Structure 1
Amino acid sequence: MLRTWNRRRAVKSLATATAALATCAFAAAPFAHAEDPLKVGILIPGSKSDKGWMESGYDGLVAAEKQQGGKIKVQMIENINYADMEQALTNLASKNSLVIGVGGQTQAAVYKIAKRFPKVKFSIVGGNQGESAPNVAGYDVKQAEIAFVAGAAAAMLSKNGAVSYVGGMEIPSIVNAGKEFGNGARYINPNIKYVENYTGDFDNVAKSKEATLAAIAQGADVHYHILNLGLRGMEQAAKEKGTHIIGSYTDRCGSDPLYVAYSITGVGYQVRYAISQAVTGEWKPGYKAFGLAMGPESSDMKICNATPDQVKKLEQIKKEIMERKIKVLEG
């Protein structure tokens, strides 16, 4: 009898201990397993150190990683040929929940690949209105808006009464920005000479240099661009001839005397926006306009060492664009 009682007591004690252990394990479970990070794939077609669009996008990614910490895990592909874009996006979409294409040149490939991965969210930084899909968001940086303001700044800074613009691929958003740069310059000086060129390639240094030298030969002393690595050619020409550049995408005033102003086109801001929206569950498909209306992180203009009158004039122009008193092209 004693032996049987001891066995029963032992079984009862074991059952009580097991139940207690299970209760402790259940209570600890929420703290034992952190929520899985959001997997983010990002395609930066050009160089992340191009002093332009691609570098701005990369800076935004770095800022997002710092802001989100362990909430995201990132895979990045950079510097690829256009022919390899679909393959790169397929690679990213097969491994990530959110895929970001940095640049309007990724748009066609994104829409094509998005059909094959309906559960993956895609965001295009520099996306335009047009095609739509239930899992694609297009963020329009409104480059034409800030290009108009940049043209006004160029006209204020030009000593020769001549300014120039070099664009890469001759696609609507790049062409519209060039037209509005010229319009902005004429807004300040109706008689200003404006030289506009396209190289057909955002990264071709030799062609960008040639186009800038041709503009300088016609009197241009302040240059604006929508280029990636091709900007190196514009820098070479400006240094050789003693002219100046208005940089794009990020305010880097004071870093290089070659640059007299910067237009801020929030490429990095949009990368951060896409990631933040996905992390919080607020991500939505469809077209979204950014530009001046979304604030200075999204779009702004900075003249390095600006006079009070220059600052006042630029603020007035930005206000009139937002109020539609000055109407600019899309893109």
Structure 2
Amino acid sequence: MNFTRRMFMAAAAAAMLSAGPALADEAKKVGILIPGSKSDKGWMESGYDGLAAAQEKYGDRLEVQMIENINYADMEQAITQLAIGNELVIGVGGQTQAAIYKIAPRFPDTSFSIVGGNEGEAPANIASYDVKQAEIAFVAGAAAAMLSTNGAVSYVGGLEIPSIVNAGAEFGNGARYINPDIKYFENYTGDFDDVAKSKEATLAAIAQGADVHYHILNLGLRGMEQAAREKSTHIIGSYTDRCGSDPLYVAYSITGVGFQVSYAIDELMAGSWAPGYKPFGLAMGPEASDIAVCESSAEMMEKLEQIKADIQTGRIKVLEG
């Protein structure tokens, strides 16, 4: 078996075993696949934070099996393993979708939730949660333009797939919404975890004047951090508000990955889990999508709030993804 597998039980697992069959029967079983590292300061860590919150909330009523940090080639094997014996399987990331679509029909009594899933025809036991990253990427671009002193910003994405490309396009559109003359540099490394390539891409943008950077990366973010520290530029982080933890970061876009993991588990626990496509994004509130500027003016936040409202009403139109 090539992939790394780790088992996590709810905090009171030992108590559950000693309490007898009645309590054990009440525990809901959830399998979760976190393809990358749960400490990547990004998408995967946000997903893990949502899982940890659910474990704390439900205690011995929840039993969790987690697989993390696997190769794409092992995705189907991982999903199959999680589908055996779990009532709900959660795939953290759109990269799990193809494997879940293939494996889910073999387990019709198991529910599957995809965090970062797309709208489309899917097996009847799958829920696809659309993060709608392009919405908040537009807002992040606007914030970047207001925070940049050089009038130049950059974006580095991992895989060049529609949702990642659309988010990059909308980051650039948001920056130009504030400053039509801003310089915008966009690059894709082909790998969410490639530290060297993301550093190289960021350094190339810095050489052309970019002083605020945005990303959709996992461990590759470390390369962007290295470049920004070396050249005294700044980053708008993704997924979770960590303002105050690192001066390198001037803002964070919140994309609710952990919120969606918790949402799927809440639905299971309440007996209300349902398949189908569900959009999250700005319409679902600040836990699902928001911008946090670490040191902002009232004028800046008023402008960003108006942009968020205009996206929701359709006055500002953004791409899907």
Q: Deviations over 1:136-187 (max 9, x none)?
A: 0000010000000000000000000000000000000000000000000000
Distance 2:60 2:284 in 1: 28
Corresponding residue for 2:45? 55
Q: Deviations over 1:284-327 (max 9, x none)?
A: 00000000000000000011011111110110000000011000
- Which amino acid is the alignment partner of residue 99 of structure 1? V
3-state SS, counterpart of residue 115 of structure 1: helix
CA root-mean-square deviation: 1.0
- Which amino acid is the alignment partner of residue 212 of structure 2? V
Corresponding residue for 1:95? 85
Corresponding residue for 2:157? 167
Q: CA deviation at 1:115?
A: 1.1
Q: CA deviation at 1:130?
A: 1.7
Task: Please tell me whether residue 33 in structure 1 is matched to residue 35 in structure 2.
Answer: no
Distance 1:262 1:157 in 2: 12
- Which amino acid is the alignment partner of residue 113 of structure 1? I
3-state SS, counterpart of residue 33 of structure 1: helix
Corresponding residue for 1:246? 236
Q: Hey, which bits of structure 1, 4+ residues long, moved more than 2 A? A: 31-36
Corresponding residue for 1:300? 290
- Which amino acid is the alignment partner of residue 166 of structure 1? V
- Which amino acid is the alignment partner of residue 156 of structure 2? V
1:206 corresponds to which of 181, 196, 212: 196
Distance 1:144 1:129 in 2: 15
Structure 1 residues 116-131: aligned runs within 5 Å: 116-131=106-121
Task: Please tell me whether residue 188 in structure 1 is matched to residue 163 in structure 2.
Answer: no
Corresponding residue for 1:146? 136
Q: Deviations over 1:219-272 (max 9, x none)?
A: 100000000000000000000001000000000000000000000000000000
Q: What's the % identity of the aligned pairs?
A: 77
Structure 1 residues 61-80: aligned runs within 5 Å: 61-80=51-70
Task: Please tell me whether residue 223 in structure 1 is matched to residue 213 in structure 2.
Answer: yes
Unaligned runs of 5+ in 2: 1-19
3-state SS, counterpart of residue 118 of structure 2: coil
- Which amino acid is the alignment partner of residue 292 of structure 1? L
2:226 corresponds to which of 218, 233, 236: 236
2:277 corresponds to which of 282, 287, 291: 287
1:105 corresponds to which of 95, 105, 115: 95
3-state SS, counterpart of residue 26 of structure 2: coil
Task: Please tell me whether residue 317 in structure 1 is matched to residue 307 in structure 2.
Answer: yes
Q: Deviations over 1:111-155 (max 9, x none)?
A: 101011111000000001123111000000100000000000000
Q: CA deviation at 1:32?
A: 8.2
Unaligned runs of 5+ in 1: 1-30
Distance 1:258 1:197 in 2: 20
3-state SS, counterpart of residue 81 of structure 2: helix
Compute the TM-score of the two structures, normalised by the length of structure 1.
Answer: 0.90
Task: Please tell me whether residue 270 in structure 1 is matched to residue 260 in structure 2.
Answer: yes
Distance 2:56 2:238 in 1: 24
Distance 1:249 1:32 in 2: 39
- Which amino acid is the alignment partner of residue 22 of structure 2? H
Distance 1:73 1:271 in 2: 15
- Which amino acid is the alignment partner of residue 33 of structure 1? A
Distance 1:32 1:194 in 2: 60
Q: CA deviation at 1:70?
A: 1.6
Aligned in 2, Cα 1:90/1:167: closer, same or farther, shift over 3 Å? same
- Which amino acid is the alignment partner of residue 168 of structure 1? G
